[in-house]
Amino acid sequence: MKISIVGGGYVGLVTGTCFAQLGHDVIIIEINAEKVRAINNGKPPIYEIGLETLLNQHAGKNLHASTGFDTIASADIVFICVGTPPKPDGSADLSYLESASSSIGTALKNNSSYCCVVVKSTVPPGTTEKIVRPCVLKTSGKTENEIGFAMNPEFLREGRAVEDFMHPDRIIIGSNDSRAGKQVALVYQGISAPVIDTGLSAAEMIKYTSNAFLATKISFSNEIGNICKHLGIDVYEVMKGVGYDPRIGSLFLNAGAGFGGSCFPKDVSALISLAKKAGENPVLLQSVLSVNEQQPHRMVALLEEKIGSISGKRIAVLGLAFKDNTDDIRDSCAIPVIRELLQNGAQISAYDPMAISNMQQIFPEIEYCPCAADALAGADGCLVMTEWPEFSRLDKEFDLMAHRIIIEGRRILACKGTDGICW
């Protein structure tokens, strides 16, 4: 099939590259010309395991990137993968989606055959039906018989995105007309996963609900961990025992510095905003966010408990990405931690295998080191913020510290003599 992907970020680029791997002809339409150049040269502008190898196999062959929308005129299916960031009030900013819809509609004026427009971005229920559909139909001048609409939420995890895309738990296809739904199902031929057909708004709500539930599991584990810390109990022992219950499940029970990334915080905020607009008081969801917001401060408080005032002290921060195997720092827990350390007068030496250049844009003033050992040398304390597997091999590097005070925000170190944020 001829597929156009609008938005070549984490989701769009992985989606496009994986569809190319499935044998489709893919054009990625991206407004950022630098990203377009990189994609066409087979160099992903983001770090994602396995992506570069796949992109190299397909760039210039059955995958191309462009800043122009004109190629959409010959597409069988168009996926919208633009960002839906939070507005200051927590609700989803749909301006990129609106702009993309209008450009798609204008380009589809010249399409002579049926085309399906699919929203893959995470959007509030009602968005595909009430915003995307009327906008595309108006700007294209076409009818429902010529353009179909579907919503196909994405569940990939950054750091494991290619693997997740190729082996999903399920494929959700929301549509209000069966032709559009069938078109989406066709694109996924070759991927083995349960396909769940549902309505447009239900598909949109499934994505928010999944992310809100996962975020709830994390905040719940963190709250239990915070209690366990006072009681001298290892929360990881507790959650291991709890997770054997199939009604609960063993995943996403890792207590620590809290969740970050471009999805959980913004999607829970957007759901809270939706609930309030509907006249509900979403106390559980609000608590999920407030537990999460407190965890990074607990890291700094525990450090101060160990070393006293941190003013003038050298503090090593290991891990800047919001999780391992990604360079993404959006809403990373390392950000509030670094901010608080700076406010309290600390000197920071930071290390991350992939995310340094992204963090330099937020905190140009701190020292970035090429390896963990350099960050630790002479440090009065160390905070571990990301579960990078390479941190599990650190041990004698901590002997380079002026004082071996190590606070873990993620359970990743294998060496002795560390303090966990909530274990």
Looking at 97-105, 288-296, 301-309, 367-375, which segment touches ligand NAD (CB under 6 A)?
97-105
The answer to the question of residue 25 lying near ligand NAD (CB under 6 A) is no
Looking at 94-102, 212-220, 281-289, 381-389, which segment touches ligand NAD (CB under 6 A)?
94-102
- Which listed residue (21, 84, 201, 418) binds ligand NAD by CB under 6 A? 84
Provide the token pair at 319: 């891990």
Nearest residue to ligand NAD, scored by beta-carbon proximity? 9
Minimum CB–partner distance for residue 260 and ligand NAD (Å): 12
- Which listed residue (122, 140, 152, 222) binds ligand NAD by CB under 6 A? 122
Tell the residue number behind the tokens 């966010």, with chain if given: 289
- Which listed residue (20, 25, 30, 388) binds ligand NAD by CB under 6 A? 30
CA-to-CA separations, 168 to 13, 172, 212, 377, in angstroms, rounded: 17, 10, 19, 43
Looking at 29-37, 136-144, 362-370, 390-398, which segment touches ligand NAD (CB under 6 A)?
29-37
Any catalytic annotation for residue 382?
A: no
The answer to the question of residue 57 lying near ligand NAD (CB under 6 A) is no
Question: Can you tell me the distance from the alpha carbon of 94 to that of 333, in angstroms, rounded to the nearest whole number?
Answer: 25
Q: DSSP states of 326-351 as a string? A: ----TT-THHHHHHHHHHTT-EEEEE
Question: Can you tell me the distance from the alpha carbon of 335 to that of 315, in angstroms, rounded to the nearest whole number?
Answer: 14
- Which listed residue (3, 4, 5, 7) binds ligand NAD by CB under 6 A? 7
User: Segment 233-262, which members bind ligand NAD (CB under 6 A)?
Assistant: 262
Q: Which amino acid is at 219?
A: S
Nearer residue to ligand NAD within complex by CB, 99 or 287: 99
Tell the residue number behind the tokens 């044998």, with chain if given: 23
Set 135, 263, 382, 422: catalytic member: 263
Q: Give the list of residues 6+ apart from residue 259 with CB closer than 8 angstroms, or none.
A: 215, 218, 219, 265, 292, 322, 333
CA dihedral 324, 327, 333, 335 (to 10 degrees): 150
Tell the residue number behind the tokens 């291991």, with chain if given: 240
Binding site for ligand NAD (CB under 6 A): 6-12, 29-32, 35, 81-84, 96, 99-100, 103, 121-122, 154, 156, 158, 262-263
User: Which residues are catalytic, by number?
Assistant: 263
